[in-house]
Amino acid sequence: MAFRILHISDVHTGPPFNPAAAERLVTDAHALQPDLVVISGDFVQRADFIAQWRVAQALRDRLPKPQLVVAGNHDVPLFHLHERLFAPLRRYQQHISPDLNPVFTAPGLVIVGACTAHGWTVDGGKLYPDQIAALRERLTPFGPDTYKIVVWHHPVALPPTYQRKRVTITNASAAIRLLDELAVDLLLCGHLHVSFVGNTRDFMPDLRHGTYIVQSGTTTSRRGYGDEHGVNTCNLITVEPDGTRVQHLRLARGSDGFQPIAEHWLPRQRALVDG
């Protein structure tokens, strides 16, 4: 049976937020009737401002349920230094979700999110040892018949055309190997403001399992990157028994709303056999 995920990211409810895109997102999200909405971080543009949190909270409330959400680096205050260092996710937990490392399960499917944003990094992120241990503990009980998805705000690798540096998590190589050890099928990320589909084997050919990488661009901000500058995108992901279909949806000019502009079929991966 197919399971449909609407993957949204980087809504950034502060200048240059696009309220018209948000309105259309709410309408289209309900029309699509996804089984789950995933939002991969950067709810606000500047976490210091309470008004931006209120808009983000209202937008989240109007989107279909259930939802699995993780925090991004913009969800950490920049100017409130004490809060940044000692309670960096307090506002996120108050307005968006108290759970920083959420889990969602459905028959044959498990989705685990983790917060890669922390107080002392401005742009990059990191997975801490306790988060790695928690991921291992959560995913190890599931065998190969369960499709495994991880959601992080920060990516572990960059699209070939991406020019900015230091935007992956700092321990990206270790994270890729962890995903492989746990036979994670799919990693959903944001942060780059550009759509992308790849595989960790593109970056580390010796991996045994390989994990598909799916990036969402920014769904409601005008800060898209490269050829997505000024463009709003999200992904419709359909998990089927033999593989996963990823549609990049782009907000069309005029009244057509979010429309498919590319489609990728990701066959279900099996671990490579030695010899």
As a whole number of angstroms, the distance between CA 100 and CA 83 comes to 17
Sign (positive or negative) of CA dihedral 221, 7, 151, 59? positive
Pick 168 or 244: Cβ nearer Fe ion: 168
Query: According to the binding rule CB under 5 A, does residue 250 interact with Fe ion?
Result: no
CB atoms within 10 A of CB 122: 10
191 lines the binding site for Fe ion (CB under 5 A): yes
Binding footprint of Fe ion, residue count (CB under 5 A): 5
For residues 72 and 210, which CB has a smaller minimum distance to Fe ion in the complex? Answer: 72
Q: Is 13 in the site for Fe ion (CB under 5 A)?
A: no
Which position has the token pair 């240059």? 16
Give the x/- contact pattern for Fe ion in 34-53, rule: CB under 5 A.
--------x-----------
The answer to whether 168 contacts Fe ion (rule: CB under 5 A) is no
User: Are residues 199 and 211 in contact, defined by beta-carbon separation less than 8 angstroms?
Assistant: yes
Minimum gap (Å) between residue 250 Cβ and Fe ion: 17
- Does 10 bind Fe ion (CB under 5 A)? Our answer is yes
Closer by beta carbon to Fe ion, 182 or else 251 = 251
With a CB cutoff of 8 Å and minimum separation 6, the contacts of 226 are 161, 162, 194
Stretch that binds Fe ion, among 32-40, 70-78, 81-89, 100-108 (CB under 5 A): 70-78
Select from 254, 248, 239 the least CA-distant residue to 219: 248
The DSSP code for 271 is P
Binds Fe ion (CB under 5 A): choice among 67, 73, 233, 244? 73
CB of 11 to Fe ion, least distance (A): 9
C-alpha span between 63 and 96 (Å, rounded): 13
Please identify which residue in 14, 72, 88, 102 interacts with Fe ion, judged by CB under 5 A.
72
Distance CA 18, CA 228 (A): 14
Q: Give the binding site for Fe ion (CB under 5 A).
A: 10, 42, 72-73, 191
